[in-house]
Chain A
Amino acid sequence: MNDFLSYLAEPIALRTLWTCAVVGFVDGYVSALVVLRRSSLQLGAVSCALLPGIAIGILLFGLGQWSALVGAVVAGLLVGLSSLFVARTSRLHHDAALSIIHSAAFALGYVILVSLGLQQKVDDWLFGNIMSMSYVDLCLAYGIGAVALLAVTAFKRPLLIWLFDPNTATSMGLPTRTISYAVYALIILALVSSLQAVGALLTLGLLVAPAGIMRLLTNRAELMFWGAGAIGGGCSVAAFFVSYPLGLHLGATIILLLGLAFAVAWRFRLSVR
């Protein structure tokens, strides 16, 4: 216990704690968009596709935070858009196209990272390493969080119409194509901001579970955003205090706590019908 207290006194511990809170809140807040738009499956595919982006970023620009991040963003956008393109131009359903592209991309990323001799790093990219997050990463999470909060708050009314039914939104004259690209970009940014904290595989949990939990507890779409943010932030902070004394991996603990919270919420869920 003394060990933990002396660890808490170190500046890196404080920064890690802050990072947990911020990344957890931002991802939780954005997860409401994912859940209300029913795009969790797609997101799973895209998050895996970030790996080759990271690998190619490192291959081209050398090992560094920015090259990895830029690579991840580009890969996320490319995979999402290319799967849309494939699905539109072939008889294959969007789901199938996405699965093929993302697993191929995932394999490519792994091959490149291993051949670059970054085997140790692979674990960090897949499952995250919050301790390795720098001040820049924290600022990035702040920035993305601010953009998400402002955009969702300012455009809540059209956003909810679009989330409920994109076709009606189009018929009301809303720029639905712009909205869907903007929301997609926002989700990718949130994904990237939590990439180092929880990794490409686990980030999916942080971007779906908080809003999923809120959905079980509330019937108000507006509440889902802030509530999911609070749950994401809360579980991440709790995970920080649990993981160190128990010697658990922090990123994995966050997702485990979210899973636990989901089970509890399921027990006390609102009845529908």
Chain B
Amino acid sequence: MVSHQDHICWGKADPNHHPHELQVCRLSAAYPRSQRPAITGISFSIHCGHTLAVMGPNGAGKSTLLNVLAGMMPIADGQVLWDGRPLHDTRREVAWLPQRSMVDHSFPITVRRLVEMGRYPALGCWRSIGEHDVSIVDKALRTLQIEALQHRQIAELSGGQLQRAFLARALAQEAHILLLDEPFTGLDDPGVRALGILLGELAREGRLVVASYHDVKSASEYFDDTLLLNREQLAFGKSAEVLSSHNLNRAYGAVH
């Protein structure tokens, strides 16, 4: 097993190190009890160190794709590979961040305890939290600048702060791939900007950030690459190129 220190992409991407690669090959997925696949024929590959926006109209399958990558929905057809091996063999490489509206804000838990949850895949059920884990949690809190909030209840946090707490949990998990479902929903303009820049920074440190995103105008500002889909893949590549008016018309209709 790879030791923790070798494994983390904290701070710098090793220039001599071969970058990790996520490959999605002809991926299809369907909801249980549904005849029609929710997404079909998704194929792209991307290296860590990048931010990827998943875009498309409502019901296009953005959440479905994230759920499949997170291992929460089964793959109907195709493959998802991480460095050539099935992604779901290395579950802790993936951290999934829930939509803020989907979690119980009143749950009695402090920010620090929430971030500690990220250590579960490494610790399992019974191993107790050691010095190493404490230092990782500290570092995650520091990176997201929420150290001062660590003993607060999550009920006391603003939307942006809660988002940071979830990101800190993902960092504490030492995952390479961060999957964010609608992270920008409900944030005000400065909040959107701050989160966009933050995601870019986390990616520069050697992670792969994949998020569903809505705003066509600002996508290329925050995301290196964009996957445009509407149940099937419409375009993939550099954000500015993908979000051409031709492609947008195909995805959203003539409105845009």
Contacts and interface: CB of A to CB of B under 8 A. Distances in A.
Interface of A: 36, 38, 88-89, 154-155, 157-158, 160-161, 163-165, 167-168, 170-174, 215, 218-221, 224, 272-273
A172 to B, nearest CB: 5
A170 B91 CA distance: 10
A167 B125 contact: no
Contacts of A163: 107
B108 A161 contact: no
A272 B106 contact: yes
A173 B121 contact: yes
Given A36-B107, A155-B125, A219-B153, A171 B117 contact: no
B71 A170 contact: yes
B226 to A, nearest CB: 23
B125 A157 contact: yes
A164 B109 contact: yes
B167 to A, nearest CB: 13
Contacts of B72: 167, 170-171
A173 B102 CA distance: 19
Contacts of B33: 88-89
B123 interface: yes
A88 B32 CA distance: 10
Nearest to A224: B108
Interface of B: 33, 70-72, 91-92, 94-96, 98, 102-104, 106-110, 114, 117, 120-121, 123, 125-126, 153, 155-156, 173, 179
Nearest 7 pairs between A and B by C-beta? Answer: A171-B96, A171-B70, A173-B91, A170-B72, A221-B108, A219-B108, A165-B103
B153 to A, nearest CB: 5
B96 A167 contact: yes
B108 A218 contact: yes
Given A157-B125, A158-B125, A164 B153 contact: no
Contact of A164 (B103, B121, B126): B103
Given A154-B125, A173-B91, A38 B70 contact: no
Given A154-B125, A173-B71, A167 B98 contact: yes
30 contacts: A36-B107, A36-B108, A89-B33, A154-B125, A157-B120, A160-B109, A160-B117, A165-B98, A165-B102, A165-B103, A165-B104, A167-B98, A168-B98, A170-B71, A171-B71, A171-B96, A172-B92, A173-B71, A173-B91, A173-B121, A218-B108, A219-B108, A219-B110, A219-B153, A220-B108, A221-B107, A221-B108, A221-B109, A272-B155, A273-B155
A61 to B, nearest CB: 37
B204 to A, nearest CB: 24
Contacts of B108: 36, 215, 218-221, 224
A246 B146 CA distance: 56
Contacts of B98: 165, 167-168
Name the residue in A88, A158, A161, A171 with the highest tally of chain B Cβ atoms < 10 Å from its Cβ: A171
A185 B106 CA distance: 25
Contacts of B114: 164
Given A88-B33, A273-B156, A161 B102 contact: no
Contacts of B120: 157-158, 161, 172, 174
Contacts of A171: 70-72, 94-96, 179
A161 B173 CA distance: 13
Contacts of A220: 108
A47 B98 CA distance: 32
Contacts of B102: 165, 167
B121 A38 contact: no
A164 B70 contact: no
Contacts of A160: 109, 117
A243 to B, nearest CB: 33
Nearest to A215: B108
Nearest to A159: B125
A157 B123 contact: yes
A272 B106 CA distance: 9
A164 B104 contact: yes
A260 B153 CA distance: 27
A163 B113 CA distance: 14
B91 A164 contact: no
Nearest to B153: A219
A221 to B, nearest CB: 5
A168 B166 CA distance: 10
Nearest to A220: B108
A223 to B, nearest CB: 9
B32 to A, nearest CB: 9
Contacts of A219: 108, 110, 153
A172 B121 contact: yes
